[in-house]
Amino acid sequence: MKQTPVEVRMSSNERGSDRHIALANVLNRHPERYGSLEWVNTDDLKIDLQIGDAGFELKERSDYISSMFNGHLAGQRRSAAAMGIPCCVPVFASPVEVMEAIPTQGPNGYKTNQEMRRDVYRIIKGDAALTASNFAPAYLGSDYDLAMELIVARAMAINSGTIALPGAKAETVQCAMLRCLPRVGPTLADAMEAAGIKVALVANVVRRNSMGEKTTEFTVIRDPGLLRIVPGMGPITARGIIEALKTR
């Protein structure tokens, strides 16, 4: 099946910037994945960069600080929320670099130590508020090429819903167990789980009939107490295993 290219739209204010060049380098490597970069008037786009169903408000360290202090980020957060898609604020700096870029001078000259500490906590609290409102800052560092690789990769994961990590780990215990089966990868395991196929613990249980005769049969383990016959199996672990596999 031919892949439909993901639409990429960028604010016209970014044309020719280092951020634009770094983004273009990523997009040009996979023309089958991404559509041509479309330039959009900033007032129409409402955000610096949109890749499919993911939005990004790009910030240099000084811009991030000033936008936080003058309230501009609050307006940008409202605009992003109105788009109805996941949005975040990539910052081209580390948290330490952001703090070091806080201006040391104000309207009345050099700031006191107390004023500088106040500004640091304004950034910290603003970071927390943005995160709590689903417009979280993402500190990506000053290497534009690496930062844009991260931004595009995150956008593609959002668009495709790809959240599986390497290895047998998965979002559910059932999916992780299914992925341990031969030739079953994350996609097939997800489909099997969606179809209601489950992995369950079984035990060869010995029973006696009314005549006192012994019989053995494989039984799905639903009682944590049955797991306690295993040396070293505590009650909390046993209950957790039963609950995780949802065999009750």
SS (H, E, C) 47-82: CCEEECCEEECCECHHHHHHHHHHCHHHHHHHHHHH
Tell me if 54 sits within 8 A of 155, measured CB to CB: yes
Domain ranges of the chain: 8-160, 202-245
CA nearest to 95, candidates 134, 142, 130: 142
pLDDT of residue 133: 95
Dump pLDDT digits (tens) for 50-66: 999 999 999 999 999 99
pLDDT, averaged across the chain = 90
Tell me the pTM. 0.72
Report pLDDT for 72.
Answer: 95
Angle made by CA atoms 69, 71, 62, in degrees to the nearest 5 = 45
pLDDT, position 142: 95
Angle between helix 18-29 and helix 144-160 axes, rounded to 10 deg: 50
Residue with tokens 């955000």: 47
Residue ranges of the chain with per-residue pLDDT less than 50: 1, 248
Q: Which residue has the tokens 């500490």?
A: 117
The pLDDT assigned to 172 comes to: 85
Cβ of 98: how many Cβ atoms within 10 Å?
23
Burial string for 176-206 (b: 16+ CB within 10 Å, else e) reads bbbbeeeeeebeebbebbeeeeebeeebeee
> What is the architecture of the domain spanning 8-160?
3-Layer(aba) Sandwich (3.40)
pLDDT of residue 2: 57
